[in-house]
Amino acid sequence: MGSVVHRRTLLAWLAASFGGAASAQAAFPSRPLRIVVPNAAGGAADITARTVGQKIAGPLGQSVVIENKPSAGGVVAGEQVARAEPDGHTLLLVSSGTAVSAALFQSLPFDTLKDFAPVSLLATFDLAVVVKEGGRFATLAELLAYGRAHPGKLNIGTPQIGTTQNLAAELFKVTAGIDAQVVPFNGTPPVITALRGGEIDVMVDILGGLMPQIGSKALRPLAVMGAQRAPQLPDVPTVRESGGPLAGFSVTSWNGLAAPAKTPPAVVERLSREVQAALAQPDVKKRLLELNLNAQGSTPAQLGEHLAADVRRWSDVIAKAKIARQ
């Protein structure tokens, strides 16, 4: 008799437990969502988060609040979300910079690959190889030929050391087999000034920030670094189109959304579906393209693989370029 009572009690407890868990997941979301953005308001990352947040608010039946935390290179934002309740109501805007930080910093208050549950990519944005209009190089082939014929003479300018652009330039020169100097500057404007003034030969940077200079014919794009040509510049080839050792070359910057680790898979999948649906809408694609971003959603697994692959790649580049880990 006692065993029967015990069995009934156990079954009742299991039913209550699983029923409660299912009920909690079914109730998601139960309050407004918050997207923590490790960038200042008004920038491309912030506008992307706000655009997507507005679109998913309706289907989710809750408002989406954007919280900007542009401190310590994204560490403050990352730590805040990593420690948040894993219920899907707090999300982090992650990016290629998140992968770079994981590769570059020896000590972070969170584990980039273990403390977050990837949700979806949001957008990719192209990097470009550009030179001064009317300068020495008219094509990427000419630049590569010069670099290979004159070891140590080619100077490639980028923003700060350890940025995606800086590491992409390091990867580019190694893959191309040229002995070139990668020269980091304090941001994009000084690199443009140095390039136009003849202090450097070429620069690698985010295409969006260079479009005004390209449009005014001050700078000439030789190639974009992504796997496909940029929609803004369909006549400009990709780096990989040059063939040879660069035939498989591809680097893009990107951003996406992640939740705290241990967020229920059903909640992550729901968020991912809503984000992907939002990114497929023509007005969202148009808005992001105005920012020189290419709307691109993904499954949680795809974002997780993308993030992990970037961490591995940038760790390798940092080691080969002998960049000191911080």
Cα distance between residue 164 and residue 98, in whole Å: 10
134, 190: one domain: yes
pLDDT at 13: 47
Instruction: Tell me the percentage of the chain whose pLDDT exceeds 90.
Output: 86
265, 311: one domain: yes
Does 283 map to a domain?
A: yes
pLDDT higher than 50, residue 282: yes
Does 19 map to a domain?
A: no
Does 14 map to a domain?
A: no
Does 134 map to a domain?
A: yes
219, 300: one domain: no
Interval 221-232: pLDDT, tens:
999 999 999 999
Residue 171 backbone dihedrals phi, psi, to 5 degrees: -65, -40
User: In whole angstroms, how large is the CA radius of gyration of the chain?
Assistant: 23
Instruction: Tell me the percentage of the chain whose pLDDT exceeds 70.
Output: 92
pLDDT higher than 80, residue 44: yes
Q: How confident is the model at residue 51 (pLDDT cuts 50, 70, 90)?
A: very high
pLDDT at 26: 53
pLDDT higher than 50, residue 23: no
CATH number at residue 284: 3.40.190.150
131, 57: one domain: no
Q: Which of 201, 220, 246 is at the close of a domain?
A: 246
pLDDT higher than 80, residue 220: yes
Interval 91-111: pLDDT, tens:
999 999 999 999 999 889 999
pTM surpassing 0.85?
A: yes
Interval 62-93: pLDDT, tens:
999 999 998 777 899 999 999 999 999 999 99
pLDDT higher than 90, residue 46: yes
118, 135: one domain: no
Give 130: exposed, middle or buried? Use CB within 10 Å, 0-12, 13-18, 19+: buried
136, 226: one domain: yes
pLDDT higher than 70, residue 21: no
The per-residue pLDDT of the chain, averaged, comes to 91
CATH number at residue 152: 3.40.190.10
120, 257: one domain: yes
Does 58 map to a domain?
A: yes
41, 111: one domain: yes
Does 15 map to a domain?
A: no
Does 326 map to a domain?
A: no
If one counts the domains in the chain, the total is 2
Q: Which of 217, 246, 275 is at the close of a domain?
A: 246
Average pLDDT rounded to a whole number, residues 280-303: 96
- Structural domain containing residue 263: 32-125+253-320
183, 216: one domain: yes
Does 157 map to a domain?
A: yes
Interval 110-145: pLDDT, tens:
999 999 999 999 999 999 999 999 999 999 999 999
238, 262: one domain: no
Q: Which of 224, 246, 268 is at the close of a domain?
A: 246
Interval 243-276: pLDDT, tens:
999 999 999 999 999 999 999 999 999 999 999 9
pLDDT at 73: 75
- Residue that is written with structure tokens 């909640």 in the block: 267
What is the 3 state secondary structure string of the chain? CHHHHHHHHHHHHHHHHHHHHHHHHHCCCCCCEEEEECCCCCCHHHHHHHHHHHHHHHHHCCCEEEEECCCHHHHHHHHHHHCCCCCCCEEEEEEHHHHHHHHHCCCCCCCCCCCEEEEEEEEEEEEEEEEECCCCCCCHHHHHHHHHHCCCCEEEEECCCCCHHHHHHHHHHHHHCCCEEEEECCCHHHHHHHHHCCCCCEEEEEHHHHHHHHHCCCEEEEEECCCCCCCCCCCCCEHHHHCHHHCCCCCEEEEEEEEECCCCHHHHHHHHHHHHHHHCCHHHHHHHHHCCCEECCCCHHHHHHHHHHHHHHHHHHHHHCCCCCC
99, 132: one domain: no
133, 238: one domain: yes
Average pLDDT rounded to a whole number, residues 17-22: 46
